Amino acid sequence: MSSRVKVVVTGAAGQIAYSLIPRLVDGRTFGDKIVDLYLVEIPQVVNKLEGLVMELEDSFFPNMGDVKYTDNFEEASHGADWFLLVGSIPRGIVYEGKKIEERSDLLKINGGIFVNQGEAIGKYGKDNAKILVVGNPANTNALIGKNAAGKESQLWMAMTMLDSSRAKSVISKKTGVEINKVKNMIIWGNHSPTMYPDVENVLIDGKPGSEIINDMNWVTESFLPTVQQRGKAVIDSRGASSATSAAKAALDTIIACENPTEDGDSFSAAIASDGAYGVPEGLMCGYPLMTLQDGTIEIKRDLTLSEFAKEKFKISIDELESEREAVKNLLK
């Protein structure tokens, strides 16, 4: 295994990136590996990255390798192992005179970014590169990027780890079980208010949620809406979307991909469906994933979904299909 890893981060002058980038080189996320960073921004703000690089240099990170920045994504992408595609416009801001509140607005504005970035990743990224799309609408942006890259050996993911961490927190509070004993917290479907956080297959101190949580009223009236609407609740309060929690979730996704998954556990991310759990092929769908001992990442396939769960999951699958339809002009 290589002792160096090259990581490209887009949106590097943004809110999430400010919390994310230092922790990529702190010796925890990639262990002992030396981390080379290539930070990418749009031309209007790329110069701000000079200040961020100064701060990184001033922070005494023994594992930090080369740090470069650019507004040219292609240049950054050569030989990269990981791509963290954060750069895009968040909800809650005013863009060209209009407050961006709906995912459909984001789809129009952000979708195009991922065609060019996907092409460059397919051409210049490592054959086994991993790509984590954070920028919203994450699943469909990842679909666009993966399609443009056209390289099956690369693994494209959209981030649902934040939703999984949110759901763990709510379950921990409800049951009084420590958060690190809440495992196999699956987010099925889209990173959007239609997602289905699986309250039945979750393991709470080793026992399935279906045995521990016998309060369907709480599930439908409190648990699901709280997790599904948490992004909006943070935006409404902060006037900006979740940043430090999103950064932590991106780091946790990397750690989950770089290390074998414990027996019984899984981690959440959206990857391209191969038909697993009846999801139409190609949709970037939130699944329970496992990293095997040899580093392969696979969908955990042995779970049972109740009729309730199937019904909720279908709502999210339908939304993913309609998003795919809406961006079909961006798909080759």
What residues are labeled active site? 191
Q: Which residue is nearest to ligand NAD (CB)?
A: 14
Other residues' Cβ atoms within 10 Å of the Cβ of residue 96: 6
Least distance from ligand NAD to the Cβ atom of residue 112, Å: 9
42 lies in the binding site for ligand NAD (CB under 6 A) = yes
Query: In 10 A of CB 325, how many CB atoms?
Result: 8
Q: From edge to edge, which strands make up the β-sheet containing 207-208?
A: 182-183, 203-204, 207-208
Coil, helix or strand at residue 82: strand
| CA–CA dist 324, 114 (Å, integer) | 14
Binding-site partner at residue 234 among ligand NAD, ligand LMR, none, CB < 5 to 8 Å by type: ligand LMR
Selection from ligand NAD, ligand LMR, none that 145 binds (CB < 5 to 8 A by kind) is none
Sole window of 9-17, 23-31, 281-289, 320-328 interacting with ligand NAD (rule: CB under 6 A)? 9-17
The answer to whether residue 291 forms part of the interface with ligand LMR (CB under 6 A) is no
From the list 80-88, 112-120, 171-179, 230-238, the region that binds ligand LMR by CB under 6 A is 230-238
Query: CA-CA distance, 100 to 38, in Å (whole number)?
Result: 29
* Cβ–Cβ under 8 Å, residues 170 and 310: no
* Residues 232-261 interacting with ligand NAD (rule: CB under 6 A): 241-243, 246
Q: Residue 160 or 266: which CB sits closer to ligand NAD? A: 160
Which residue lies nearest ligand LMR, judged by its C-beta? 231
- CA 250, 253, 255 angle in degrees (round to 5)? 115
Q: Does 77 bind ligand NAD (CB under 6 A)?
A: no
Q: Burial letters for 54-77: b for 16+ Cβ neighbours within 10 Å, e otherwise?
A: eebeeeebebbeebebbeebeebb
Draw the binding track, 126-155, toward ligand LMR (x: CB under 6 A; -: no contact): ----------x-------------------
Q: Which residues bind ligand LMR (CB under 6 A)?
A: 91, 136, 162, 231-232, 234, 241-242
